Structure 1
Amino acid sequence: MGQLELRRVSRIAAVSLLLLGLIGCFQPIGREHAIASPQPSPHQERRVMNPSQEVSPSLLAANTQFGFNLFSTILKQGQGKNVFVSPTSVAIALSMVYNGASGTTQTAIAKALALQGVSLDDLNRANLDLKAALQNPDPKVKLAIANSLWAREGIPFQPDFLERNQQFYGAEITNLNFSDPTAVSTINNWVKQNTQGKIDQIVDTLDPNDVLFLINAIYFKGDWTRPFDPKKTAEKPFHRLNGTAKNHPIMSQSGEYRYYETDQFQAVSLPYGQNRRMNMLIFLPKKSVSLAQFYQTLTPETWQQWVRQLRNRQGSVQIPRFKLEYDIELKQALSALGMANAFDAQQADFSGISRIPTKIDQVKHKTFVEVNEAGTEAAAVTSIGIRATSAMPSSEPFNLVVDRPFFCAIRDNQTGTLLFMGSIVDP
């Protein structure tokens, strides 16, 4: 296989991670005080605006590995339910947090993200290139990626952490009064705007010890290269895992597709847009093979092999029309992938974010997908909540009235020496 073909397959694999959850869909399985972003240098502008920028193969390989690891772990938690996730959204959000991790916590996140051998600088630059390469790839396909950081007012965040997230992830950074009753809706309005209204809430409440939310949003809308004819859509039986069947709208069409078949499954690629760069890949296990058995063979290595085997072939396709919403808290899955200490108040080290001891308190992930005759619309949001590991000082005004016996001391702040101490009971 030639070098150009290898690059093309790598790009397809990376883009397909966004839609990887589709494989599991068939399993009943007012903003305040915005911090201005620094103006990019001409070199940075050139990197952001060049959509043909070659994306690091190391990052693509890591993203593929992480995507399959995450998907496999989630399947074990939700057996018998629909699953639809965006590994790309989760990986980007974790990459932003990774910029503030230190010590064993940084090592743990790197393990979860399969970043062996990828430096922090290489990760950031590769994510910048990937975002530029993915966005708006076709006149008939829209793919938008947005990042934001919502910082509690008054918390001293490390400047390097904020600057890297602005420079490499285009993150909008907002200082927000977390005690304001409108703060939750302010964050959720950003989510709604950046998912075209498909996901309207990711933050439910704000805890007094919450100090930061890092949020990634991805929106995808692609028209099929060859739309399905609604007149050919018919109610047909769809067989569930438990053996029961229900009537469901099934779309049909015939033509030439990229197709691959083994004694275990059939696979087809349904392209979007004019240049067919993006596609939905559907893998259907044979009747003699259960979905669980298929997943046992699904690995990053077999995925790459199967994608390379797709060949043009005449045939017919029937797929269900569907629409679903999915949400999951990812702490359990990410802990299983090796980053448990990031959630542990005693072990977490995010000194690169702030001098205040913090941990990751939550990793919420929500998705939406609708597949119909015209194409596919999908959205994903990943929110990582950072919380202080000790009680935050109250910001409420205090009132001190010294009208009873009290203790006092005179102390040298540089050495800590107590020069005088006193108990005043009768001044």
Structure 2
Amino acid sequence: MNYRGLRIMGGIGITGLVLLGLMGCIQAVSQEQTTPFSQPTPQTEHLAMQKSPEIDPQLVAANTQFGFKLFSEILKQDRNKNIFVSPSSVAIALAMTYNGASGETQKAMAKALELNGMSLQALNQANANLKELLQNPDPKVQLAIANSIWARQDVSFKPDFMQRNQTFYGAEIANLNFNDPKSKSIINGWVKDNTRGKIEEIIDSINPRDVLFLINAIYFKGDWTKPFDKKLTAEKPFYRPDGSSKQHPLMSQRGEFRYFETDRFQAVSLPYGEGQRMSMDILLPKKPYSASDFYQDLTAENWQQWVTRFRSRPGTVQIPRFKLEYDIELKRTLSALGMAVAFDGSRSDFSGISSTPTRINQVKHKTFVEVNEEGTEAAAVTSIGIRATSAIVDEPFSMVVDRPFFCTIRDNRSGTVVFMGAIVDPQ
């Protein structure tokens, strides 16, 4: 089923705002310490006493810049549609792939990811530290990040590439027979397991030239610090971008909230869990400004200023209850961000992955989110498909054309067969 269309009880403005909330979470958690999700044991108590991993501010800044650029490009592609993406999932999957890039391809990916001179070693270590810090930050918040690499078993890959992804990204590595129809089910089974069943499939087919899939999965489930009372949820009008409206359940809560506003929008931060380390930040354009007007101001620089301006203030919040699934192919989006060379088989350089010439064939991204009175559940998967730029030769063969044969002359660009013939007696 294609979820590019509407799969939501709500409107476009809210889905874009939820994206900001999750991105804000990632930015906020870099400044605090982690709390184990499980009940204390001698082992977890020992780990808790250990020093928290140091977060590289350059990586956080890079991820923020990349995330807003990515969202801005997706808006151009899916304007006036519900959008929900995980820039972190996309960035992690691309960072794993970046470990095998060289030359012009490496430079283009570094520019798209806003690495600004960050070394490969620094990037890998910073991602490892961030992954460790983010996971399960609160007894009432689950955040799990999983990575995997699925390799075609008859293709040779560079050991250093595999080792770095295993060491720094915790990637599970498996060699599969891509000619076996079961391979697709095995990969999708991993996706389903690591998104708690919220996303069941990311690979719809395996091409004979596909040699590698790098996949990131993120699962989030957080209970509100203060749950919404279901008795206060009521059907109220929700206004669409075209001016029409529909009746929709809005949840309501009164209390002290971290809040700020400008002449163009209101902003509120709704925390999750006991420690309130993670939150959903919702930004609502004020009339007469529209969501489109707001998105023109939505930059990484503005966002970094806005998140410092939340202050505790009494008030009432009403937000829609909603659930959606979204998917997008990011090849066009990432090309617009400057890494088109990675998709071009005549120019791409992933010699750090394999001696077999390869290119990125696809970057598929799927998400799920549900927001209700208890809290929020969300999942994201990003799959990067690496494809050989020429046919894979499995075994040496012998062909002796010593009997009648059929032949064609065709245009490879259009696929047009210009000539064809049956040769029974060559003269």
TM over 0.5: yes
Matched with 1:124 is 124
Counterpart-to-counterpart distance in 2, 1:147 and 1:213: 11
Query: 3-state DSSP class of the match of 2:67?
Result: helix
Give matches, 1:22-421, under 5 Å.
52-394=52-394
Matched with 1:17 is 23
Aligned pair in 2 of structure 1 residues 90, 50: CA closer, same or farther (>3 Å)?
A: farther
Matched with 1:424 is none
Cα deviations across residues 325-347 of structure 1 (Å, max 9, x unaligned)? 00000000000000000000101
Cα deviations across residues 102-154 of structure 1 (Å, max 9, x unaligned)? 00000000011000121100000000000001000000000000000000011
Counterpart-to-counterpart distance in 2, 1:14 and 1:253: 21
- Contact 2:361/2:387 (CA < 8 Å) preserved in 1? yes
* Equivalent AA in structure 1 for residue 249 of structure 2: P
Matched with 1:36 is none
Counterpart-to-counterpart distance in 1, 2:136 and 2:51: 9
Counterpart-to-counterpart distance in 1, 2:217 and 2:125: 19
Aligned pair in 2 of structure 1 residues 60, 47: CA closer, same or farther (>3 Å)?
A: farther
Query: 3-state DSSP class of the match of 1:346?
Result: coil
Query: 3-state DSSP class of the match of 1:207?
Result: coil
Where does structure 2 lack aligned partners over 5 or more consecutive residues? 1-18, 27-45, 404-427
Query: 3-state DSSP class of the match of 2:369?
Result: strand
C-alpha deviation, 1:14, in angstroms: 10
Tell me how many residue pairs correspond in the alignment.
366
C-alpha deviation, 1:308, in angstroms: 0.5
Counterpart-to-counterpart distance in 1, 2:115 and 2:380: 23
C-alpha deviation, 1:16, in angstroms: 3.8
- Contact 2:250/2:319 (CA < 8 Å) preserved in 1? yes
Query: 3-state DSSP class of the match of 1:309?
Result: coil
C-alpha deviation, 1:221, in angstroms: 0.1
- Contact 1:18/1:88 (CA < 8 Å) preserved in 2? no
Aligned pair in 2 of structure 1 residues 183, 51: CA closer, same or farther (>3 Å)?
A: farther
Counterpart-to-counterpart distance in 2, 1:225 and 1:282: 16
- Contact 2:363/2:385 (CA < 8 Å) preserved in 1? yes
- Contact 1:260/1:310 (CA < 8 Å) preserved in 2? yes
Aligned pair in 2 of structure 1 residues 158, 386: CA closer, same or farther (>3 Å)?
A: same
C-alpha deviation, 1:51, in angstroms: 7.3
Counterpart-to-counterpart distance in 2, 1:401 and 1:117: 55
Cα deviations across residues 7-39 of structure 1 (Å, max 9, x unaligned)? xxxxxx99841779xxxxxxxxxxxxxxxxxxx
Counterpart-to-counterpart distance in 2, 1:115 and 1:356: 27
Aligned pair in 2 of structure 1 residues 219, 287: CA closer, same or farther (>3 Å)?
A: same
- Contact 2:24/2:281 (CA < 8 Å) preserved in 1? no
Aligned pair in 2 of structure 1 residues 225, 372: CA closer, same or farther (>3 Å)?
A: same
Counterpart-to-counterpart distance in 2, 1:280 and 1:167: 31
Cα deviations across residues 343-401 of structure 1 (Å, max 9, x unaligned)? 00101000000000000000000000000000000000000000000011245x96778
* Equivalent AA in structure 2 for residue 85 of structure 1: V
Aligned pair in 2 of structure 1 residues 381, 48: CA closer, same or farther (>3 Å)?
A: farther
Counterpart-to-counterpart distance in 1, 2:118 and 2:190: 31
Query: 3-state DSSP class of the match of 1:71?
Result: helix
- Identical amino acids, percent of aligned pairs: 68
CA RMSD of superposed structures (Å): 2.1
Aligned pair in 2 of structure 1 residues 51, 239: CA closer, same or farther (>3 Å)?
A: farther
C-alpha deviation, 1:301, in angstroms: 1.3
* Equivalent AA in structure 1 for residue 102 of structure 2: S
Counterpart-to-counterpart distance in 2, 1:83 and 1:188: 23
C-alpha deviation, 1:304, in angstroms: 1.2
Query: 3-state DSSP class of the match of 2:346?
Result: coil
Where does structure 1 lack aligned partners over 5 or more consecutive residues? 1-12, 21-45, 405-427
Q: More relative contact order in 1 or in 2 (CA 8 Å, sep 6+)?
A: 2
Counterpart-to-counterpart distance in 1, 2:158 and 2:54: 31
- Contact 2:212/2:385 (CA < 8 Å) preserved in 1? yes
